Every structure is written in structure tokens, then in C-alpha cells.
Structure 1
């Protein structure tokens, strides 16, 4: 089992909301209205770990080890929402998300293949790590800069945990795992349809609720995510290229191949499957 070792490793790295956030350095005057609103939106999207966890537990009933790991992942992701809300409570209490706003992002996700979901979330954690690093750089208030740094490090560790479960899946499921990881790797490293980076938060997850079946669509301001990425933290083509390289390096090591470009990965995938990659029937949401 991987869970006991992952638990110990993540426990050693865990930070305390009370002791490891320098609340005494808080300077609300250094926080703009624009910046404060992004903290609110990040808090709500982090709350979407709740329905993602419900999805993971449902679709992985066959895997008690991975399901147990969800207890750690869920705890840490919900702590991200909590620390961002606590920050707003101290700095901008008028922007603390309401319970209704939080509950709006809790909705059922259609069943999805577990291996594809695992790869999707691995890529999502890689991208999210870098999004939060950029957010830390963009902000001007010292405490929220520190908070985003803590959260970014958590997301990087979560990506490493998912990678270990991917390694285990290759041992257990062989060709099925290779096909799933290659297919979702191509999708997540290709910028998505319309040229925007794919993340679990902006993928459709419930056909009966379409088009309001993404976490992003249920935010108080659905257009916020693109504005945050493009105009505020400026996650530009160079930033995205670093995410793509990280995905390709991970898959190269995982699959024992050399993928310099997404085209290399797609050629490898097509040679094994002979088909074009398609998004999963239900792509699960995760925190942003």
C-alpha cells in the first residue's frame, strides 16, 4: 500500500494555519479590490475538492489504498479554502464566500474511468502549482503572498503522490494504464480546444447539467478564471510551456520513452492505439 508512506511524508510537510501563516504581518492597505476578489474565487474553487472527493471515492470503490489517500488530499485541499477564507475574514470580511456560494460548486460528476481521472488530476496539480506561484508573485500584500506559496508547495506534493499511484497503475494495469496516461497527457499538454489550458476546473463533468457543469461556470463570476490567468497573474505562453515540459518529463520517466514534444507523445500513443485522443466522458473537477 502507498497510503501509509504518503501519509507520513505529507504529515511531515504539513503546515499549520495558526502557526505557519504570519498573520501579524497582515497589511490590508496593500491588498487591492482586484486582488481580494481573486482570493475569494480561489477559495471557492478550492472548495470544489468536496465533490471531487465524492467522485474519487465512488469511482475507486475497488481501490481502498487510493481511497484512503483521499482523506489526506481532501483535508489539505479544504484547508486551502479555509486559509483563504480566514485571510479574507481578517483583510476583507465583505468578500468572505457565503455558504451558498460554496455549495454552488458541489454537484454530482458523471462516472469517469479511474485511470484517466488519475492522469487528469496529476496534470492539474502540475499546472496549479505554477498558477499559485504566479499568484504569489502578482500579489503585493505579504501574508497572501506567503499563503499562496504554502498552497503551491502542497499542490506540488499532491502531484508527486498522484505520480506514485500512476506508477502502481502501470504495474497493475499495464497497457490500459499506458493508453490512458498517453491519451490524457496529449489532451492536457495541448492547450485544450480553443487554445486555453485545460484544468479540471474548466472541464465539463455532468452531461445532464450542461453547460453549467463546470466548477468555473458555477462561480459568482464565471469569466474570472481567464481574466486571472491572462490579465492578472499573466500565465503566458512561456509559463504554459514549462507546465507542458513537466508533463512530458514525467511521462517520459513513467513510460520509459523520450517525449520532447506533445507531437512525440501523440505519435507514440497513436502507434499503440491508432486513435485520436478524446476527453473522458466525465472529466472530474478539482481545486484551483
Structure 2
């Protein structure tokens, strides 16, 4: 069981909302209206950890270890939303999200294969870590710069915890897990080939609500994410390469094989799929 160890390790580095945020260093002259609006949108987006947790608990009902870890993940993710809202409450109270706006990003996700969802959120943590690091560089006000640095570090730790559960899945179910992780790894590392940012909050997750079934589509400004990335924090090809490299590095560690490119990972995926098909045919 991983939960006790992960709880202890995350507890040791947990930051305090009152004492670890340098609120007294706020410099209002360095916070623009444009920047404040992006903080508002990120606060609402982070609130979507609520429906994500409900999804994880539903789809992993048979894995009490992972569901127990959700108590830690959910707490820390909701604290990201809370600290961003606290920043606005102190310095731009007119921009604090309403309860209705927060509740609007809570909707049911369709059931999905648990291992593929785990891998998708692992890649999502890597991407968020880089988005927030980039945002910290873009912002000019010192307190929010520090907040984004702090929550980016949380996202990296969460990715590490997910990786532990992925390693556990390899031991438990072998090639079925390899196939699921490689499939989603190829997808999430191929963002440069798509027109939209590849992150769980921007993927369609409820067929009955389509097209209003992504977290981003349910924000007060559904077009915000692309504008934030492309025109504001300027998450460019150099940053994207860092995300892809980090995904491939972790896949290399997980599968004990070196993947220098997405194409390398895709070839491995095909190898695993072929091996699974052969086993199934033999069993039949």
C-alpha cells in the first residue's frame, strides 16, 4: 500500500496558507487588470479537482489504496483554488469567483478506463507544473509569482505520486497497463499536432453535455485558456518541448527503455499491443 508513505512524504513539505505566502510583500502597482483576470480563471479551473476526485473514487472503487490517496490529492488541489481566491479576496475582491461559477465546473465525467485516466492525469500534472512555472515568470507582482511557484511544485509532487501508482499497476497487470500508459503518453506528448492544449480540463468528458463538457467550456470565459497560453504567459514551443521531454523521460523510467521521441514511444506501444493480441489469440 502506497498511501501511508505518500501521505507522510507530502505532509512533510506541505505549505501553510497563512505563514508560507508572503502576503505582506504585495505590490499593487505591479498587478495589472489583465493578470488579475487570469488568476480568477485559474482559481475556477483548479476547483474542478472536485469532479475529478468524484470520478477517481467512482472508477477506482476496487482500489482502496489509490482512493485513500485521493484524500491528499483532493485537499492539496482544492487549496490551490483557495489560495488564488484568497489572493483576490485580499487584493482584488471584485474578482473573487462566485459560488455559482465554481459549481458550474462541477459536473459528472463519463466512466473511462481507470489506467488511461491515471496516465492522463499524470501527464496533466507535468503540464500544469510547466504552465504555472511559466505563469510565475510572466507575472510581475511578487506575491502571485511566489504562489504560482509553490503550486507548481505541488503539481510536480502529485505527478510523482501518480507515477508510483503506475509502477504498481505494471506489477499488478503487466502489459495491459503498459498499453494503456503508452497509448495516452503518445496522445499527451503530441500536443504540438493539435489545435488545443492537451490537459484533462480541456478534454471532452461527458457525451450527453457535448460540446459543453470540458472544464474550460464551463468557465465564465471559455476562450481564456488558449489566450492565456498563447498571448499572455506565452507558453511557446520551447516550453512545450520541456513538457514532452519530461513525459518521455518518465516513460523511459517506467518502462525501462529509452524514448527519445514520441515516435519511439509509439513504436513501443505498437509492440505491446501486438504482444497482447498474441497472448489473447493463444488463450482463445
Task: Please tell me the TM-score bracket, short chain as reference.
Answer: over 0.9
Larger Rg: 2
Instruction: Tell me how many residue pairs correspond in the alignment.
Output: 275
Secondary structure of the residue aligned to 1:273 is helix
Tell me if 1:19 matches 2:19: yes
Q: Which residue of 2 aligns with 1:286?
A: none
Q: Which residue of 2 aligns with 1:271?
A: 271
Q: Distance in 2 between matches of 1:232 and 1:265?
A: 32
Tell me if 1:54 matches 2:51: no
Q: Which residue of 2 aligns with 1:145?
A: 145
Q: Distance in 1 between matches of 2:246 and 2:194?
A: 22
The alignment's TM-score, normalised by the length of structure 1, stands at 0.94
Deviation of residue 81 (structure 1)?
0.3
Q: Distance in 2 between matches of 1:227 and 1:110?
A: 28
Q: Distance in 2 between matches of 1:108 and 1:4?
A: 29
Deviation of residue 75 (structure 1)?
0.2
Q: Which residue of 1 aligns with 2:174?
A: 174
Deviation of residue 129 (structure 1)?
0.2
Trace 1:59-78 onto structure 2 (pairs within 5 A): 59-78=59-78
Is the 2:178–2:272 contact (alpha carbons within 8 Å) kept by the matching residues of 1? no
Trace 1:235-246 onto structure 2 (pairs within 5 A): 235-246=235-246
The alignment's TM-score, normalised by the length of structure 2, stands at 0.95
Q: Distance in 1 between matches of 2:103 and 2:173?
A: 36
Deviation of residue 193 (structure 1)?
6.0
Q: Higher relative CO (CA 8 A, sep ≥ 6), structure 1 or 2?
A: 1
User: Unaligned regions of 5+ residues in structure 1, if any?
Assistant: 275-288
Q: Distance in 2 between matches of 1:85 and 1:197?
A: 24
Deviation of residue 192 (structure 1)?
6.7
Deviation of residue 27 (structure 1)?
1.7
Q: Which residue of 1 aligns with 2:278?
A: none
Deviation of residue 222 (structure 1)?
0.5
Q: Structure 1 residues 190-199 or 76-85, which shifts more? A: 190-199
Moved over 4 A (4+): none
Aligned-residue CA RMSD (Å): 1.2
Q: Distance in 2 between matches of 1:192 and 1:260?
A: 16
